[in-house]
Structure 1
Amino acid sequence: MTAHTSPAAETAPAARRGRRPGTNTTRQAILTAARARFAADGFTATTIRRVAADAGVDASLVMQFFRSKNELFAAVMSVPAEALTRFSEAFEGPDEGLGERVVRAFLDVWEVDAESSEPLMAMLRGAIANEQANGQLCEFLEERLLVDAITSRDIDDATLRAGIVSSMLVGLVVGRGVVGVPTLTGAERGKLITLVGPAVQSVLVPAPQSTDG
């Protein structure tokens, strides 16, 4: 007796292999791979082909979503709003201990939370060779991050002070995450916060001017 196959079974399409389930999922996989690759290798060394390999897709598919490496990089450099909120919260509260709170929040954003640290590290590495990354990094540090927070405390010369603190903190991150200075990479975060905090404190909380004389 011959077994009969239903028409539905005969016409049902075969399951696709090697394809990701949906446009959004594929795009996110590419962004995740690109974020990690840009953060690790920088803008110049990162290629569309390597990102595609990391994401498990064809390079042509990456180009369908992002027409160039510059466009892909711009999408990667989107820093979560939560990172800004976390940093701004460091400026809440009394002047006492402000420097240490700021350093701790900065290191948290740049080193602890991968969702924020990877695009930031991509910015930092990319700023060396990519004008767009350089502009994004300056905007993030001086406009979106420090200036607004410092201005909220009614401090004179907020922009200048933001630039000074930015340079100090970025230098710390570069030493730990990019250059790899042994004494910095081997230092505990708590120790760094204790040492750098007072220096940041002196910039953010000016000593009251003497009225003598």
Structure 2
Amino acid sequence: MTAHTSPASAARPGRRPGTSTTRRAILTAARARFAADGFTGTTIRRVAGDAGVDASLVMQFFRSKNELFAAVMAVPADALTHFSDAFEGTDDGLGERVVRAFLDVWEGDARTSEPLMAMLRGAIVNEQANEQLREFIQERFFAAAVSSRNADADEGADADADAVDGDAMLRAGIVSSMLVGLVVGRGVVGVPTLAEAEREKLIMLVGPAVQSVLVPTP
């Protein structure tokens, strides 16, 4: 992967005016660096260079790379509602709504997408990132899918709640794996055909597959 280089890296290192401004600058630089290079490839020195500050200053705010990484992985609350919103409404078009919501979160505003990409790249080598990624997917995607399936089951007199829960969780797990794989192919591995594909084309192609998994055939 080509390392991300911020224009700020050319700035003269030193203390920025204002503690909050300096901290934000470091977090912004770290967010982009972790998203581009992953946990292992990111160094405090590189983050400091991107932010235009001394490495020692980064360590004053964040005592280790692990602590800096934890701060970077804070995903804005509004992003967490995206998956739940996709499950609102009827089953018609559910697959396309879910794929669109997933890509909107992972490939949209940098404030949301970069922490998630940092989690994804770091999950291989960093247990904290692995746990954060699991929690993010389970907290919203799994919960929304199970809630949606259970709501449908409640309409049937003979529904077995435990069976529905298990089935919904399995279906949600399959879909989340499909979509994470899509993001990895586009943003991490950089498979040319996936990376160059238009988002709407992907939604049109992947949506029906997601639909077939999430919505059981009567």
Work out whether the TM-score is over 0.5: yes
Gaps of 5+ in 2: 1-12, 151-163
* Structure 1: distance between partners of 2:115 and 2:98: 20
Is the aligned partner of 1:150 residue 2:160? no
Amino acid at match of 2:64: S
Is the aligned partner of 1:57 residue 2:53? yes
Paired residue for 1:33, among 29, 42, 50? 29
Partner in structure 2 of residue 105 of structure 1: 101
Partner in structure 2 of residue 175 of structure 1: 185
- Contact 2:27-2:72 at 8 Å conserved across structures: yes
Amino acid at match of 1:149: A
Is the aligned partner of 1:135 residue 2:131? yes
* Structure 2: distance between partners of 1:92 and 1:36: 32
* Structure 2: distance between partners of 1:29 and 1:53: 11
Amino acid at match of 1:179: V
Amino acid at match of 1:182: P
* Structure 1: distance between partners of 2:147 and 2:137: 16
Q: CA deviation at 1:47?
A: 0.2
**Residues 82-121 of structure 1 aligned to structure 2 (within 5 Å):** 82-121=78-117
Q: CA deviation at 1:54?
A: 0.6
* Structure 2: distance between partners of 1:115 and 1:176: 19
Q: TM-score, normalised by structure 2?
A: 0.84
**Residues 177-192 of structure 1 aligned to structure 2 (within 5 Å):** 177-192=187-202
Moved over 4 A (4+): none
Deviation track 1:64-101 (CA, whole Å, cap 9, x = no partner) reads: 11111001001100111111112221111111000000
Paired residue for 2:176, among 166, 173, 176? 166
* Structure 2: distance between partners of 1:113 and 1:104: 14
**Number of residues paired by the alignment?**
191
Partner in structure 1 of residue 207 of structure 2: 197
Q: CA deviation at 1:18?
A: 4.8
Note the aligned Cα RMSD (angstroms): 1.3
Q: CA deviation at 1:151?
A: 2.0
- 1:127 and 1:18, CA in 2 relative to 1: closer, same or farther beyond 3 A? closer
Partner in structure 2 of residue 78 of structure 1: 74
* Structure 1: distance between partners of 2:149 and 2:191: 36
